[in-house]
Structure 1
Amino acid sequence: MGAVTITSSPDTTTGRPTDGDREVGTLAAAPLRTEVVSELPYRDDELWKKLHPDSSKRCSAGTTEKCFLEITGMTCASCVSNIEKNLQKEDGIVSVLVALMAGKAEIKYKPDLIQPLEITQLIKNLGFEASVIEDYTDAAGSINLKVTGMTCASCVHNIESRLNKTLGVLHASVALATSKAHVRFDPEVVGPRDIIKIVEGIGFQATLIKRDPKDHNLDHKQEIKQWKKSFLSSLVFGIPVLILMIYMLIPGDQQHESMVLEQNLIPGLSILNLLFFVLCTFVQFLGGWYFYVQAYKSLKHRMANMDVLIVLATTIAYIYSCVILAVAIAEKAEQSPITFFDTPPMLFVFIALGRWLEHIAKSKTSEALAKLISLQATEAVIVTLGPDNCIIRYKYLSCMTDEILQYSGIWRSTL
């Protein structure tokens, strides 16, 4: 198993590594301070507002929070731009960051104006599927702890009151029945190790609840199934169209003109064009229904994406062919006109095939990412250095997660 070594020089004020932190071997060493690091100062509102003018926004009802969404249906950078531009126009949304490859969005919002479920509905109105990723909703500033040693409601009140009075802790709730605590905090002020030390300083044991690294929310099985079904249904009608297209490539001569498919059923309508019309109509409105829905939702918001382009190309070819065929029948033409009924089925077949293969590739990439996540270190050693750069004390941490590493900590991997 891999391990991580964390080197720090604790500060008496915050219990976190200061700017004097250095890696093993640094020449200039800050003097070691031996005060208790499990205690963080209580919140002095007046002093805190002077030092951090923006803190009142984070701690008030109008605080800015972050949520993570899983978005499906994106195909290109235009989809990403469409989502970002439309969401940024909404009141209460501070910033939007969408990742096309991962199919995720990181959104900062004001909870007093808008909620994550409302944001997902806005994305659905744009023509995409969206859902809140519960495991990552408050991952940037929250932790879940397993607290042991509690016996009554007084223990719960003791932990909650101590944490809620700690500088940088926004909210803390403890459940006696499950022996779990959920803490929201400002990562720029306080870290997970500080919170654990506070709980331990009161007289309880606290450990970080480890998240399963397999919960990466990058599964593309649903999209793979959808586009495989779309490809196969389009292919059923596309193969006959392909055969008829090959038939049309036979050089024209007297014998070819007298073939059965070239004969008119009625003036202006040949058997070949009738077959093309029937096959194309099924593909246009059955296989292409998804594209029509997505194009409508996009145009409703005055945006154009790849689905709009596909619908535009196939619809023009279909309508044009229907019009000239109707004109030929009305005029009772001796020869049926040349149509483009073969274009929409073949386009839908190749587009569905391409998106099917695309999501298969994304799924394999997701599996590789999950394997990389599983290789993270599972143990950590926190080392405190003295004035002469020697190790004064150290502490082992098990069930290592990304959350336990505070941003100001100095660490190096010892895999």
Structure 2
Amino acid sequence: IVYQPHLITVEEIRKQMEAVGFPAFIKKQPKYLKLGAIDIERLKSTPVKSSEGSQQKSPSYTNDSQVTFIIEGMHCKSCVSNIESALSTLQHVSSIVVSLENRSAIVKYNANSVTPETLRKAVEAVSPGQYRVSITSEVESTSKSPSSLSLQKSPLNIVSQPLTQETVINIDGMTCNSCVQSIEGIISKKAGVKSIRVSLANSNGTVEYDPLLTSPETLREAIED
């Protein structure tokens, strides 16, 4: 099943199957697809969920700070919705406004409990993991007076995003099994790499990795080195 995760979840699909009389269970965890030009054009005209509801549910902290990010890699309104939906559900984020035109996001958050760098990594982890994010503004405090609340610090819990993503890298120049073993041995030791399977016949390698620690481009450069 190919679906848009900001419109429906795997669990909702399963329940709809059972509602029409068919027992269903999730056999494999979702994997994100790489979008081509045609897919991107289709998504531009796809209606998306408004993130206003989730933003209204977010708590408003008395000592909010504000930071602005530049986001490279957004193509359509679905990208905007994905980022807003993912960040607005995170603990300690009170609001987020993403601009496709300006390639930016303005985030208000509780500075006592989360840092701009953690939020930056959270945006880069949003499906399909293609975004490159940088902090462009100084952190600004939006509170008018010191907070009278004592908030306990707790780690940011990115429950809506997987900790593992998969990428397929084309590898030219392999001639034997020794090449395969050499690449697998080197890449498997890289930070963030969870598994790698190299195919001599298909001239490629399939890598499972942590998007907070590495990226497909970094892995490609490591193989070429």
TM-score normalized by structure 1?
Answer: 0.20
Larger Cα-atom Rg: 1
TM-score normalized by structure 2?
Answer: 0.35
Between Structure 1 and Structure 2, which shows a larger proportion of helix residues? 1
